Amino acid sequence: MRNFFRGFGAVFYKEVLHVRRDPATLFFSLVIPLLQMVVLGFGIDTNIRQINTVVLNADGRRESRELIDRLKNSDTFHINRYVETDRDLNDAIIAGKDRVGIKIPVDYSDRLLHNMSAQVLVLIDGSDSSVAGQAINVTTAIGLDESLRRVLQDRSTFAVDMRPKLLFNPDSRSPNFLLPGLTAILLLNVTTFLTAFSIVREKERGTLEQLFVTPVRPMGLLFGKLLPYLAIGFAELCLILTFMRFVFQVPIHGNVLVLAFLSLPYLFVSLSIGILVSSKANSQSEPSSLPFSPFSPASSSPVTFFRARPCPSSSTSSAISFPPAITSTSPAASSCAAPAFLISG
């Protein structure tokens, strides 16, 4: 009878020796998964808390202050400023400094004292549908609870009427939030890969030594390698913007030519990093993983796909410096900006 497991012990012992003599294998197989679990476990928090909120309290009396205190105590809103005019309220939201704006009218207390319904305007940045939905639910619940309390006490009508108004993304479409950040990640991956194989390909073919004996200067070689791929990356940017605008219906407010022009330094830096990776690699298999190593915090960080506010400060500070994270967490990028508007009293 043939022994199908003949030599198993010898091969098993040989592999154990190889693993023991290769600590890098043990490190990547045992430590890296734990590090990823720690980063994602502590980094991702889908609970929406402490949304930056600006308040315009035109009433200023006890009833309006009680409503503001209830908003503070909900742990959903972080009131970081008070303004005096509608323009300041608009500017704070348009600039991305605050995500929610509360406007309490001047007759708020008078209407409640006369058992009449008092309306409160709630302006919400709708670029992130999860944050907008949480803000709508909490403000509506607070208004309903306040109305029920007054109905039971004073037998009045529906007292506090919270009127939420979504800005920038009134339909709460997720593509409006995700695709601008995804555009930066796609461009980063494509442009880095375009140049990551350029010099290492010359090394393997043996043509790099031939370039050294030619009168080509280093800067000429560098820009000669970069500029063709810069044109390809720019064409890719135009295609992505076209698909984002006409296929996914993501609005882009502003000058598209300015957006394309300002994207050129981003493309150039990504291509330059690909050249750096290619100069350090010795074979074409190495650049397949090396381009992602500098950007793994940006592509895998929860800040790239979640708002910076719900994430802990540690993950925010480690990933917010990367362009894809900045693009996906920027209110101007995620909402594709928005025209100014004026609140009517």
H or E segment at 123?
Answer: strand 118-125
CA distance 64 to 62: 6
CA atoms within 13 A on the CB side of 37: 5
pTM over 0.85: no
Query: Given this model, what pLDDT does residue 71 score?
Result: 92
Query: Given this model, what pLDDT does residue 2 score?
Result: 66
Query: Given this model, what pLDDT does residue 169 score?
Result: 79
The domains of the chain, with CATH numbers, are: 51-167 (3.40.1710.10), 175-294 (no CATH)
Environment class of 344 (CB within 10 Å of its CB; exposed 0-12, middle 13-18, buried 19+)? exposed
Contact 298, 319 (CB under 8 A): yes
Torsion of CA 124, 127, 133, 139, to 10 degrees: -10
Q: Which pair of structure tokens corresponds to residue 173?
A: 């479409």
pLDDT tens track, the chain, 345 positions: 567 777 778 888 888 887 788 777 777 777 877 887 887 777 777 778 889 999 999 998 998 999 999 999 988 999 999 999 999 999 999 888 899 999 999 999 998 888 888 899 999 998 888 888 899 999 999 988 888 887 777 655 667 889 999 888 777 787 887 888 888 888 888 888 888 887 787 777 777 777 777 788 878 878 888 888 889 999 999 999 999 999 988 888 888 899 999 999 999 988 888 888 888 777 766 666 554 554 544 554 544 444 544 454 555 555 555 555 555 444 433 333 333 333 333
